[in-house]
Amino acid sequence: MKRVVVVGGGWAGCGASVGARKRGVEVVLVERTSNLLGVGFHGGMHAYNGRHTIMLEAKALGGTEIFEAVESAFKYRVDLPHQKYGYLYDNFKAEGAVRRMLERMGVHVHFERTVTDALMQGERIRAVKLNNGEIIEGDAFVDATGGAGPERLCKEYGRGCVLCILRCPHYGPRISLTAKTGVKETMARRGDGKFGGMSNSCAVDRESVTPEFLEEMKNKNGCVLVPAPEGIAEDYGYFKKVRTQQYYSQDEYETYLVTVDVGAIKFVSRPYVNYQVLREIPAFRNAHFVDPIVGGRGQAIRFLAQAPRLNTLQVKERPNLFCAGEKAGYLVGIMDAKVTGLLAGNNAARVALGDPVLELPRRTALGEGLAWINEEIQTEAGQYKKYSFVGTGGLYQHLIDQGLFTVDPKVVEERLGEHGLLNAFTA
Ligand SMILES: Cc1cc2nc3c(=O)[nH]c(=O)nc-3n(C[C@H](O)[C@H](O)[C@H](O)COP(=O)(O)OP(=O)(O)OC[C@H]3O[C@@H](n4cnc5c(N)ncnc54)[C@H](O)[C@@H]3O)c2cc1C
């Protein structure tokens, strides 16, 4: 049986594993930590704005299993400021649901193993080497290692290691498969002359907030706008410059702590909040951070390793290597990672089997989004942005302008049907 090796078990790697299995190849997934979902472990805001459209497209292409896993952890259907058509899910339940789904699909997952090297044959990868010396051979590979950290770069471009979910001090640094094949990657630029972007939210343990606040959360469908007290982000200038999603630089997100229930209680668009000021709010008098553990000081720095890629998600000059998620170019978000993962994994399987790869037409939201980002990042201004189907980098507006945004599954099916792409992941 042909084999695809997926490196990195964040949302992109989980999507890639599903995408490859749908094509009938053996899939091995290697993840350096103890769990799946990567930096998205405390995500929970799902399918908002243009992300809804690419979810419908991915479902119509045949990649349903990963969405069913998330939907099993559904918590609240609620609109958020500037974000509509989506819902909140429980992150703790989602991780288990995705793990079990991959198991059912027959994906071999190696936890607590890091890919440390690529063994090459010309431009093609023949095998990867793990930190325990094991060699795993494959016919095609997916790099889903993200672009966060490691500690050294969080220090250089942020406020040092704040013990985020990646836990580099224990598990060691992120290692990029693409870079190990000799391909040069790029780092996202930002306004203060440095690189990367600070993760956009932080979260406290739900047991550490008052029962009255949790009750209010429940009554308001999982989202409470708490007036932001003075000093909650005392160095607001720095904060605004470094955060990943500039899309959130809008009124409500400045005036309020936009607080959502995603298993943990998350402050949206706040990489950090001043711990002492937070504790002055009655609901948070016992607040205890879960991500990052050093809450109140900063967050992880991401977008430090983008692979040059084609619109099929093949890494340039590496015919049997594909990339997905944050690795695939300035792309932020759980949905963005899952859906690019599905495509990258499916195309890796196609290469393994000797089948033609899929390049989605620009009359689809995903096809247009991937092509447009690739064009944008060729420009000087484009390298200062991040992109997301929820809105960041102008991508959602671009889809609206192109007439591609829709939340109607029938419209999506018709569009894909016109190109003969219904269930293309399995066909
Ligand atoms: C705190 C926080 C909250 C967020 N909330 C939301 C949200 O609510 N909604 C939303 O849409 N987006 C959210 N995002 C953004 C979203 O989570 C990310 O954009 C997305 O999850 C990135 O996924 P990824 O798989 O590309 O990368 P990552 O999550 O970075 O995954 C990479 C994985 O690769 C592993 N890895 C790295 N190197 C190796 C190696 N050599 N060998 C083996 N494994 C390796 C890492 O351990 C990691 O698990 C949030 C991000 C953060 C940080």
pLDDT in tens, the chain (427 residues): 999 999 999 999 999 999 999 999 999 999 999 999 999 999 999 999 999 999 999 999 999 999 999 999 999 999 999 999 999 999 999 999 999 999 999 999 999 999 999 999 999 999 999 999 999 999 999 999 999 999 999 999 999 999 999 999 999 999 999 999 999 999 999 888 899 999 989 999 999 999 999 999 999 999 999 999 999 987 777 877 788 766 666 678 889 999 999 999 999 989 999 999 999 999 999 999 999 999 899 999 999 999 999 999 999 999 999 999 999 988 999 999 999 999 999 999 999 999 999 999 999 999 999 999 999 999 989 988 899 999 989 999 999 999 999 999 999 999 999 999 999 999 7
Residue 87 located in a structural domain:
yes
Amino acid 74: pLDDT: 98
CA-nearest residue for atom 15, ligand 1, is 333
Based on the fold, state whether residues 205 and 188 are members of the same structural domain: no
Residue 337 located in a structural domain:
yes
Based on the fold, state whether residues 7 and 89 are members of the same structural domain: yes
Q: What are phi and psi of 184, to 5 degrees?
A: -85, 130
Residue 96 located in a structural domain:
yes
Ligand 1 atom nearest to CA at 326: 26
Dist. CA 427 → ligand 1 center (Å): 29
Ligand 1 pocket test, pick from 39, 90, 198, 270 with the greatest ligand atom count within 8 Å of Cβ, gives 39
Q: Domain holding 325: CATH number?
A: 3.50.50.60
Dist. CA 347 → ligand 1 center (Å): 21
Q: What angle do CA 140, 416, 411 make, to 5 degrees?
A: 140
Dist. CA 331 → ligand 1 center (Å): 11
Ligand 1 atom nearest to CA at 390: 11
Residue at which a domain ends, from 299, 329, 356: 299
Based on the fold, state whether residues 280 and 375 are members of the same structural domain: no
337 in ligand 1 pocket by Cβ < 6 Å?
Answer: yes
CA distance 374 to 309: 8
Residue 427 located in a structural domain:
no
Tell me the β-bridge partners of 45.
88
Residue at which a domain ends, from 299, 322, 357: 299
Based on the fold, state whether residues 328 and 408 are members of the same structural domain: yes
Task: Considering only CA atoms, give the Rg of the chain.
Answer: 20
Residue 423 located in a structural domain:
no
Based on the fold, state whether residues 223 and 365 are members of the same structural domain: no
292 in ligand 1 pocket by Cβ < 6 Å?
Answer: no
CA-nearest residue for atom 18, ligand 1, is 333
Ligand 1 pocket test, pick from 17, 154, 334, 395 with the greatest ligand atom count within 8 Å of Cβ, gives 334
Q: What are phi and psi of 46, to 5 degrees?
A: -130, 135
Task: Collect all residues with Cβ–Cβ distance below 8 Å to 326 and sequence separation of at least 6.
Answer: 10, 12, 39, 146, 147, 148, 302, 303, 306, 332, 337
Ligand 1 atom nearest to CA at 174: 38
Residue 425 located in a structural domain:
no
Residue 254 located in a structural domain:
yes
28 in ligand 1 pocket by Cβ < 6 Å?
Answer: no
Based on the fold, state whether residues 18 and 139 are members of the same structural domain: yes
Q: What angle do CA 258, 338, 45 make, to 5 degrees?
A: 15
Residue 182 located in a structural domain:
yes
Based on the fold, state whether residues 186 and 208 are members of the same structural domain: no
Based on the fold, state whether residues 26 and 152 are members of the same structural domain: yes
Element (H, E) at 28: strand 26-31
Which residue range is the domain that position 185 belongs to? 3-192+302-418
Amino acid 247: pLDDT: 64
Cα of 201 vs its chain's centroid, Å? 13
CA distance 379 to 356: 30
pTM metric for this prediction: 0.98
Based on the fold, state whether residues 28 and 130 are members of the same structural domain: yes
Based on the fold, state whether residues 214 and 180 are members of the same structural domain: no
Residue at which a domain ends, from 266, 299, 332: 299
Based on the fold, state whether residues 77 and 100 are members of the same structural domain: yes
Amino acid 350: pLDDT: 98
Amino acid 258: pLDDT: 95
Based on the fold, state whether residues 176 and 314 are members of the same structural domain: yes
Give the number of domains in the chain: 2
Ligand 1 atom nearest to CA at 15: 25
